[in-house]
């Protein structure tokens, strides 16, 4: 939502008074029923093989998956589940709750809030806030390896405390009607056997949590930076696939190193219920254009790059006119048309001109003029 707008509650969602001009715009392009905005898209169930609706999701990423980023991604896919950045319970309880939780109910659904914390009471309170604001899911972060959050018992360190995690998720589930999910690694430090992972999931599942999003790398909490932890520990997809075999009643979503739809489909074919894509979706956002067709059997949203460009230009103009600085929008769009002729000039023009607070929306349209699109497919065939 817009930083300076006053909000009103409606249907358990938060709407900005000055968002009304582009509410109609998004209904036109997305046809997301407003009457469903505040309804959970799944229900927690212990029934075996209950269908999981989110085959494809975009991972929570600090400093990246802001509300503006999610609105941009929603222009590319109507169906994928989108996640917020991680928000700590302390920030919500003691900070500016409205600033951390506001989002565009007209544009972002389905959207999940990721929480960082360990205290059952605090997490339950924040889950209630998420429900009040109209989120579709609440996710607990048990995978972040940063030493800054370890000291607060947040992130991957929680894998060493399975019962604590189970108790926290149970408190959250008891408090709200939303699906409560968890995102974690396949192990931490020397606790990296499959038996450890299996026992962690088994203990946590006793809380009633049925959706486990598993980053298929272990986290090394001492000696590696968060960036290194995204690349150095080797991927082990088979461990995650084995989890689904051992826990067929749970929804197992796999994350880590998924860079194309071919790999995503292969992993789904091996039995997992969903795939979560992170950096690739952010750095090469056109990847999201085919998600609805390939994973949800829906029509492609745009026939040509020109049709997409028209929608993006209209969105940029509406957002800037409502008070959002261009830089908060355009910084998430630098990877647009990556690999196509003119993409470097596109990125350079935006990077050099978008930062002034009064930067006009025409800057984005001028940048698009540098692109000589060869279509939505074959993006890797072109080398600038």
Domain boundaries along the sequence of the chain: 26-296, 305-381
List beta partners, residue 274.
253
For 179-183, 283-287, 290-294, 300-304, which range has the lowest pLDDT when averaged over its residues? 300-304
Residue 268 CB burial class (10 angstroms; 0-12, 13-18, ≥19): middle
pLDDT of residue 226: 86
- Comparing 266 with 305, the larger pLDDT belongs to 266
pLDDT of residue 375: 63
Q: How far apart are the first and last CA of the chain?
A: 37
- Which CATH topology does 305-381 take? 1.20.120
86 is an annotated ligand-binding site residue: no
pLDDT of residue 7: 33
pLDDT of residue 18: 38
159 is an annotated ligand-binding site residue: no
Tens digits of per-residue pLDDT, 35-79? 333 333 333 334 444 689 999 999 999 999 999 999 999 999 999
**Percent of the chain whose predicted confidence (pLDDT) is above 90:** 77
Most distant CA pair in the chain, distance: 56
pLDDT of residue 278: 97
pLDDT of residue 149: 84
255 is an annotated ligand-binding site residue: yes
pLDDT of residue 254: 98
Tens digits of per-residue pLDDT, 149-171? 887 899 999 999 999 999 999 99
As a residue count, the chain comes to: 384
pLDDT of residue 374: 63
- Comparing 314 with 374, the larger pLDDT belongs to 314
pLDDT grade for 301, boundaries at 50, 70 and 90: confident
62 is an annotated ligand-binding site residue: yes
121 is an annotated ligand-binding site residue: no
Query: The whole model's pTM is what?
Result: 0.85
- Residue 329 to residue 316: CA distance in whole angstroms: 7
- Residue 374 to residue 352: CA distance in whole angstroms: 25
Q: Do domains 26-296 and 305-381 have the same CATH topology?
A: no
For 13-27, 118-132, 247-261, which range has the lowest pLDDT when averaged over its residues? 13-27
Q: Per residue, what are the HEC states of 187-235?
A: CECCECCHHHHHHHHHHHHCCCCCEEEEECCCECCCCCCHHHHCCCCCC
For 225-229, 261-265, 363-367, 379-383, which range has the lowest pLDDT when averaged over its residues? 379-383
- Residue 35 to residue 310: CA distance in whole angstroms: 28
pLDDT tops 90 at residue 233:
yes
pLDDT tops 60 at residue 126:
yes
* Cα angle for residues 174, 79, 331 (degrees, 5° grid): 100
278 is an annotated ligand-binding site residue: yes
Tens digits of per-residue pLDDT, 1-40? 333 333 323 233 333 333 434 444 444 444 333 333 333 3
Residue 194 CB burial class (10 angstroms; 0-12, 13-18, ≥19): middle
* Cα angle for residues 76, 34, 98 (degrees, 5° grid): 85
| 74 CB neighbour count, 10 Å cutoff | 26
pLDDT of residue 50: 62
Residues classed as catalytic:
144
- Which CATH topology does 26-296 take? TIM Barrel (3.20.20)
**Average pLDDT estimate for 341-346:** 94
């Amino acid at each position: 939502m817009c930083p300076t707008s006053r909000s009103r509650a409606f249907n358990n969602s938060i709407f900005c008074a000055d968002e009304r001009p582009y509410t109609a715009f998004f209904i036109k392009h997305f046809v997301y029923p407003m009457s469903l905005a505040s309804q959970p898209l799944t229900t927690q169930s212990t029934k075996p093989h209950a269908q999981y609706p989110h085959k494809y999701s975009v991972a929570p990423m600090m400093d990246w998956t802001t509300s503006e980023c999610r609105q941009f991604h929603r222009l590319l896919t109507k169906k994928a589940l989108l996640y917020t950045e991680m928000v700590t319970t302390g920030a919500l309880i003691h900070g500016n709750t409205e600033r951390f939780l506001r989002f565009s109910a007209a544009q972002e659904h389905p959207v999940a809030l990721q929480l960082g914390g360990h205290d059952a009471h605090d997490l339950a309170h924040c889950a209630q806030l998420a429900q009040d604001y109209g989120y579709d899911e609440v996710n607990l972060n048990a995978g972040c390896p940063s030493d800054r959050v370890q000291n607060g018992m947040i992130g991957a360190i929680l894998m060493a405390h399975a019962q604590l995690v189970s108790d926290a998720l149970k408190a959250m589930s008891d408090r709200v009607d939303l699906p409560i999910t968890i995102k974690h690694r396949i192990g931490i430090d020397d606790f990296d056997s499959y038996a450890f992972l299996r026992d962690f999931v088994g203990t946590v599942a006793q809380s009633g949590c049925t959706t486990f999003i598993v980053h298929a790398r272990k986290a090394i909490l001492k000696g590696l930076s968060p960036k290194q932890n995204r690349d150095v520990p080797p991927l082990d997809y088979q461990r995650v696939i084995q989890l689904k075999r051992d826990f067929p009643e749970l929804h197992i979503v796999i994350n880590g190193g998924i860079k194309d739809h071919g790999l995503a489909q292969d992993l789904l074919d091996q039995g997992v219920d969903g795939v979560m894509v992170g950096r690739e979706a952010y750095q090469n956002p056109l990847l999201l254009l085919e998600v609805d067709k390939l994973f949800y059997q829906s029509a492609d949203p745009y026939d040509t790059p020109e049709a997409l460009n028209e929608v993006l230009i209209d969105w940029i103009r509406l957002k800037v006119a409502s008070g959002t600085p261009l830089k908060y929008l355009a910084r998430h769009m630098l990877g647009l048309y990556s690999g196509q002729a003119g993409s470097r000039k596109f990125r350079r023009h935006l990077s050099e001109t978008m930062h002034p607070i009064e930067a006009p929306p025409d800057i984005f349209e001028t940048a698009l003029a540098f692109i000589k699109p060869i279509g939505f497919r074959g993006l890797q065939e072109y080398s600038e």
